[in-house]
Amino acid sequence: MSTLAYKILQEHLVAGELMPGGETTIRIDQTLTQDSTGTMVYLQLEAMDAGPVKTELSVAYIDHNTLQTGFENADDHAFIQSVCARHNILFSKPGGGICHQLQLENYGVPGKTLLGSDSHTPTGGGLGMIAIGAGGLDVAIAMAQGACALTVPKVLGVELKGALRPWVSAKDVILHVLKALTVKGGVGRIIEYYGDGVKALSVTDRATITNMGAELGATTSIFPSDENTKRYLEQQGRGDAWKPLAADADAVYDEELTVDLSALEPLAAKPHSPDNVDSVRAVGPIEIDQVCIGSCTNSSYADLMKAAAILKGRKVHPNVSLVISPGSAAILSELARNGALADLIDAGARIIENACGPCIGMGQSPKSGAVSLRTFNRNFKGRSGTNDAEVYLVSPETAAISALTGVLTDGLSAHAALGIELPPIPEPAPGAFRRENAFVVLPPDLPAGAALPDVVMGPNIKPFPRGTAVREGDGISGSVVLVAGDNITTDDIMPSDSRLLPYRSNIPHLAEYCFEKIDAAFPARAKEAQAGPAQGGVIVGGENYGQGSSREHAALVPLYLGIRMVLAKSFARIHRANLINSGILPLVFAEPADADTIKEGDVLVLELAHTQLAEPQVVIQNKTQGAQYRMANGLTGEERKMILAGGRINLIRGEA
């Protein structure tokens, strides 16, 4: 009766019981990091005095901060490469492609576990892996110990029926699911896809869907491993990595949703949230300024071949800038060999590096007030680097046809009148993708006892902040620095774009921009609170606080600014873990309405922290208003120790 997710988790169970809400430890077979979270991961790995990694495979990718407009990014790359050589980690150079696409192509294996310091790590679920995104410290610990802690999620089964029509694609499937479940609908859940419709989706289609499961807040998403999986692995020259995997026929899901693929039509997520979904038809033919095709969601070989087929022999509209960032060097090289690259260029596409690029605001920011159609996964306000841009998330088919017409266009209903056909894209032959891996640097084979190569650190790399332990009898206090609404993203907390990404290893610099887009005075107020009588700050949030990225910077920067607690109506999973790892206490209002009564400047105290945090509920005193609030204390035993030690590194190093 087991779901596929629980079968894989059961095989990897090191401690605990596999039941929803249970605290377990699971074995981690593979890890990945990318550069913008990676510098912190490797500073933390070094701080743990770890030896060679305990995983089967760990890879460090450089794909986010690849614009080298100064020495900072290049220094970070050199730092990461030097640490890789010390701990037996593969290093993937800039230009190789986007971490999730590369992991899928080169290393993904059905039935294995993968932990990655990026929220879109669940892309691996397209190959039948349990692939989970986490904060950097959790990934560093998984490398050092070969395992990680996991609160067992429920399993939401999505039954897929039928098959997609041409001009409708995997992106529309996940946008449909996002509309149904919302950006917090997946919290505490694994989304498992099954049913007849699965066989109509290729591995890269499935990876698009599991990738954007991150936008549901899900722990991960997973598809079975079947004949399509086998063919995909054979195309990558890795057919021997295949094994069939599926849920038992009588598997029981905790919750269920059914999607009829044949009834779907092209969809778009409107500004500024991935769940603000409507049909392209309903949004209508709005004029567009920019189209971006790429990102870890939609930059596969098939995605780009579809775009090339639509654009072939035609011209991008005069008012549109079309930007294409392929997912990997192997894909780009195949497009170059089969002529599709020439079709794209001849149509007027700007081909940029195989990297995250515009998805994380690393260049290609649209003009003021622009409408930008993107095949990406997040359209949070300002993420493109242009604060007043209107970003719509769409499929590659919708993006490509709209690039030609200059308006948002529904290919399904409009292609015939426009005379644009979308021929079926032939699957690549087995072994089609080149396997030279020219972008991968293998770690040196260090003989036992040999001296480790040196860590190379540029001047922009600053130590990460550490919290202070809470003494027995003491409380945790702070004055309220910010009262925020629902669905605050980590992009809101710690914005990232081409200006700020070079400073991912420089917390003091980033601190000046914390909450910049919501309240530019936040850093100054937080510092004042830190120096004031309450000796710290508190943030009050609404539902789903900290959704989005896995960036630890959204916790480490507030820690640096003296934030001691975040009180919210609910938290996103990875951000909550990052707060705890940093020693910032996350508490959930037992009465959500209490959150709306708290004012900026109120002094809040959790008295007798050691005693109270041992109980399932704690009481926060509002010293300014004379009120008190009951808060749910969801900390596990281990998490409580981290908070009291002033963070997980302190706990590991015994410096509590």
CA-CA-CA-CA dihedral for 552, 558, 559, 563, to nearest 10: -140
The one of ligand SF4, ligand MIC, none whose footprint includes residue 375, by CB under 5 to 8 A per kind, is none
Least distance to ligand MIC, CB of residue 73, Å: 13
Least distance to ligand SF4, CB of residue 120, Å: 5
Judge whether 218 and 154 are in contact, CB under 8 Å: no
Least distance to ligand MIC, CB of residue 359, Å: 6
Least distance to ligand MIC, CB of residue 378, Å: 6
- Select the span of 306-314, 543-551, 623-631, 641-649 touching ligand MIC (CB under 6 A): 543-551
Please say which residue, 59 or 261, places its beta carbon nearer to ligand MIC.
59
Using CB under 6 A as the criterion, what x/- string covers residues 39-78 for binding ligand MIC? -------------------------x--------------
The one of ligand MIC, ligand SF4, none whose footprint includes residue 143, by CB under 5 to 8 A per kind, is none
The one of ligand SF4, ligand MIC, none whose footprint includes residue 58, by CB under 5 to 8 A per kind, is none
Strands 321-325 and 267-269: unpaired
Q: Which helix (H) or strand (E) holds 89?
A: none
The one of ligand SF4, ligand MIC, none whose footprint includes residue 310, by CB under 5 to 8 A per kind, is none
Least distance to ligand MIC, CB of residue 36, Å: 4
Please say which residue, 120 or 184, places its beta carbon nearer to ligand SF4.
120
User: Is 551 among the residues that bind ligand MIC (CB under 6 A)?
Assistant: yes
- C-alpha span between 51 and 318 (Å, rounded): 56
Residue 578's closest CA among 32, 97, 133?
Answer: 133
Residues forming the site for ligand SF4 (CB under 6 A):
64, 98, 118, 120, 295-296, 356, 359-360, 376-377
User: Is 479 among the residues that bind ligand MIC (CB under 6 A)?
Assistant: no
Please say which residue, 37 or 103, places its beta carbon nearer to ligand MIC.
37
- C-alpha span between 403 and 282 (Å, rounded): 19
Least distance to ligand MIC, CB of residue 248, Å: 33
User: Is 384 among the residues that bind ligand MIC (CB under 6 A)?
Assistant: no
Q: In 3-state terms, what secondary structure has residue 229?
A: helix
254 residue type, one letter: D
The one of ligand SF4, ligand MIC, none whose footprint includes residue 295, by CB under 5 to 8 A per kind, is ligand SF4
The one of ligand SF4, ligand MIC, none whose footprint includes residue 550, by CB under 5 to 8 A per kind, is ligand MIC
Least distance to ligand SF4, CB of residue 127, Å: 17
Least distance to ligand SF4, CB of residue 101, Å: 9
Work out the number of other CB atoms within 10 angstroms of the CB of residue 620.
24
299 residue type, one letter: S
In angstroms, the first-to-last Cα distance of the chain is: 45
DSSP code per residue over 377-441: S---TTTTS-TT-EEEE--HHHHHHHHHHSB---HHHHHHHHT---PPPPPPPTT-S----TTEE
Please say which residue, 321 or 578, places its beta carbon nearer to ligand MIC.
578
Least distance to ligand MIC, CB of residue 638, Å: 23
CA-CA-CA-CA dihedral for 427, 433, 439, 445, to nearest 10: 120
Q: In 3-state terms, what secondary structure has residue 258?
A: strand
CA 273 vs. chain centroid, Å, equals 15
Using CB under 6 A as the criterion, what x/- string covers residues 102-141 for binding ligand MIC? ----------------xxx---------------------
Interface pick for ligand MIC out of 36, 325, 386, 498 (rule CB under 6 A): 36
Least distance to ligand MIC, CB of residue 116, Å: 9
Strand order in the sheet with 277-279: 277-279, 267-269, 390-393, 371-374, 290-294, 321-325, 350-351
Cis-peptide into 100, omega within 30 deg: no
- C-alpha span between 174 and 362 (Å, rounded): 25
Query: Tokens at residue 228, please?
Result: 């399509």
User: Is 412 among the residues that bind ligand MIC (CB under 6 A)?
Assistant: no
The one of ligand SF4, ligand MIC, none whose footprint includes residue 221, by CB under 5 to 8 A per kind, is none
Look at the alpha carbons of 368, 371, 372, 377 in this order and tell me if their dihedral is positive or negative.
positive
Please say which residue, 420 or 488, places its beta carbon nearer to ligand MIC.
488
Least distance to ligand SF4, CB of residue 157, Å: 26
Query: Tokens at residue 329, please?
Result: 């060097």
Please say which residue, 138 or 410, places its beta carbon nearer to ligand SF4.
138
The one of ligand SF4, ligand MIC, none whose footprint includes residue 364, by CB under 5 to 8 A per kind, is none
- C-alpha span between 79 and 400 (Å, rounded): 39
Number of residues forming the site for ligand MIC (CB under 6 A)? 12
Work out the number of other CB atoms within 10 angstroms of the CB of residue 227.
10
Contacts of residue 24, defined as CB under 8 A and 6 or more positions apart, other chains included, come to 9, 13, 14, 15, 16, 17, 18, 149, 150, 151, 152
Interface pick for ligand MIC out of 229, 549, 633, 650 (rule CB under 6 A): 549
- Binding residues (CB under 6 A) for ligand MIC: these are 36-37, 64, 118-120, 360, 496, 548-551
